[in-house]
Amino acid sequence: MKHLLAFLLLASLLSPLHAAELKTLPGNVASALELPGLTGGKVNLTDLRGKVVLVNFWATWCPPCRKEMPSMNRLAEKLAGKPFAILGVDAGESAEEVRAFLRQVPVNFPILLDEEGSSLKPWQVFVFPTSYIIDKQGRLRFGLVGSIEWDAPDTLARIEALMRQ
């Protein structure tokens, strides 16, 4: 596990810090995802069917992750009450580390804990942040390696179009 996290750290540091671009995906069914939530209980992606879901894999030590968190928070606020959800999946860190980070950068969406990094391989996460947008039927529609302003008009339009489908 330490080697995987060291690799992810190196890859994240070597990746560009500028915003990336959403890539259209072929629509395969998303991998299973069931993890403990930071505030307790387990969160299962399948329970969110009927909603468009942004799944963001991140870590507190990742500068691009820190940069994009506020825009994800604004996106969650803009789409509150609509068929949309965000799941932030912190990989390789303890609940205490994540809570300390969230005291500095608070969010209003669920944070899931993957302390062992077991979800990284099935979700093909090699760099932080890595994000996926899943449609209402549970299919992968967009993917992103790197950070983005999630509440930018073009990104918001793509998400809203999926919500209308």
End-to-end CA distance of the chain: 39
Read off the pLDDT band of 74 (50, 70, 90): very high
Q: Does pTM top 0.85 for this prediction?
A: yes
* Each residue's pLDDT tens digit, 8-30: 444 444 444 445 789 999 999 99
Closest CA to 22 of 156, 126, 165: 156
- Expressed as residue numbers, the domain containing 42 is 2-164
Provide the pLDDT for residue 8: 46
Q: Which tokens go with 135?
A: 């449609």
Question: Is-contact 61 129, C-beta < 8 A?
Answer: no
Q: 32: burial class by Cβ within 10 Å (0-12, 13-18, 19+)? A: exposed
Provide the pLDDT for residue 76: 97
Provide the pLDDT for residue 21: 86
User: Which amino acid makes up residue 17?
Assistant: L
From the CA atom positions of the chain, what is the Rg in Å?
15
Read off the pLDDT band of 7 (50, 70, 90): very low
* Each residue's pLDDT tens digit, 81-102: 999 999 999 999 999 999 999 9
Read off the pLDDT band of 143 (50, 70, 90): very high
CATH code for position 81? 3.40.30.10
Mean pLDDT of the chain: 90
Number of compact structural domains in the chain: 1
Q: Is 157 helix (H, G, I), strand (E, B) or coil?
A: helix
* Each residue's pLDDT tens digit, 144-158: 999 999 999 999 999
